[in-house]
Amino acid sequence: MAGSSRPRRAQAVLSVVSSTEVSPHLVRIVAGGPGFEQYNDNDFTDKYVKILFADPAHGLTPPYDLEVLREQSPEQLPTRRTYTVRESDRDAQTLTIDFVVHGDEGVAGPWARAAQPGDLMVLTGAGGGYTPEPDASWHLLIGDLTAVPAISAALEALPDDAVGHVFIETENAEDLAGLREVAGVPVTHVAPYPGVDRIGDALVEAVRALEWRDGIPQAFVHGERETIKVLRRHLVDEREIPRERLSISAYWARGRVEDDFQAEKREAIGQIG
């Protein structure tokens, strides 16, 4: 049948179970219910879902027929945002997602700040691409607050005798309170320099100052786009980490809503290298 060859992505329609302020800029949402059956789990520590936020003014009932909406009323299409699955619990049928609340702008951040038990959370996925390799000579994990959920999950997956370094730039050291402590993998909290135009500068400096270990690390590097571009140049050109040892991408871009930021990945400005 014409137009029906592309499989539709299953939408998991979950209900918010709880909402907890983990730190001043991080809200943890646990959501679950029978809709969990439509969620496709995987073993990547950076697994992520696409959450669909419909404008309540349109009165849509999930799961949404995105194809029909796209053809007949594109202005009603839900806004799509990407989030890491901090934890999936098959027995409890719940997903845990940590949302950065970054002010009044945007859709997902303000939604998370206001979320109440019973609110619907509709999502597709999960995707993913990185898991720490147990036999890597060492691990390098670098990110900002948006990458804390994925770095958290990676630390939990590391063997007890793993070695490496973690660098995270966030305003509050308490953002890192829940991270698993692995003796050989110290976590450096990097305080940002004041001013939005200096986001990431302190992180880059901290990474540059790292005394390099022997062997090739497996690296996971995610955060704001311009910072990631600089880090990529440093790690690939100066530190000579081979591409296949590097999981690196932008999770967001300053001054860009996610739709524009994702679209720009096809243009020069959106490419990190």
Ligand X SMILES: Cc1cc2nc3c(=O)[nH]c(=O)nc-3n(C[C@H](O)[C@H](O)[C@H](O)COP(=O)(O)OP(=O)(O)OC[C@H]3O[C@@H](n4cnc5c(N)ncnc54)[C@H](O)[C@@H]3O)c2cc1C
Q: Measured from the CB of residue 29, what is the shortest distance to ligand X in angstroms?
A: 10
Cβ partners under 8 Å of residue 74, min gap 6: none
Residues 51-90: x/- map of binding to ligand X (CB under 6 A)?
------------------------------xxxx------
Counting residues that bind ligand X (by CB under 6 A) gives: 24
Q: 36 or 83, CB closer to ligand X?
A: 83
Tell whether residue 252 is a contact of ligand X (CB under 6 A).
Answer: yes
Phi, psi of 241 (to 5 degrees): -75, 125
Q: 138 or 167, CB closer to ligand X?
A: 167
Interface stretch with ligand X, choices 66-74, 97-105, 161-169, 205-213 (CB under 6 A): 97-105
Tell whether residue 256 is a contact of ligand X (CB under 6 A).
Answer: yes
Of residues 11, 98, 167, 185, which one binds ligand X by CB under 6 A?
98
Q: 104 or 161, CB closer to ligand X?
A: 104
Tell whether residue 130 is a contact of ligand X (CB under 6 A).
Answer: no
Of residues 146, 152, 218, 247, which one binds ligand X by CB under 6 A?
146
Structure tokens at 53: 């936020």
Rounded Cα gap, residues 220 and 21, in angstroms:
26
Q: 151 or 163, CB closer to ligand X?
A: 151
> How many other C-beta atoms can be found within 10 angstroms of the C-beta atom of residue 113?
16
Q: 125 or 138, CB closer to ligand X?
A: 125
Tell whether residue 93 is a contact of ligand X (CB under 6 A).
Answer: no
Of residues 14, 29, 54, 100, which one binds ligand X by CB under 6 A?
100
Phi, psi of 25 (to 5 degrees): -120, 15
Positive or negative, the CA dihedral 173, 175, 181, 182 is negative
> How many other C-beta atoms can be found within 10 angstroms of the C-beta atom of residue 57?
7
Site for ligand X in 103-122 (CB under 6 A): 105-109
Under a CB-based contact definition with an 8 Å cutoff, are residues 27 and 114 in contact?
Answer: no
Q: Is 118 left (phi over 0), alpha (psi -120 to 50) or beta?
A: left
Rounded Cα gap, residues 21 and 135, in angstroms:
36
Tell whether residue 257 is a contact of ligand X (CB under 6 A).
Answer: yes
Q: Report, in this order, helix, strand and coil percent for the chain, each rounded to 5.
A: 30, 30, 40
Q: Measured from the CB of residue 249, what is the shortest distance to ligand X in angstroms?
A: 7
Strand 87-89 relative to strand 94-100: parallel, antiparallel, unpaired? Answer: antiparallel
Biggest CA pair distance of the chain: 60
Tell whether residue 169 is a contact of ligand X (CB under 6 A).
Answer: no
Which residues of this protein are in contact with ligand X, per CB under 6 A? Answer: 48, 81-84, 98-100, 102, 105-109, 146, 149, 251-258
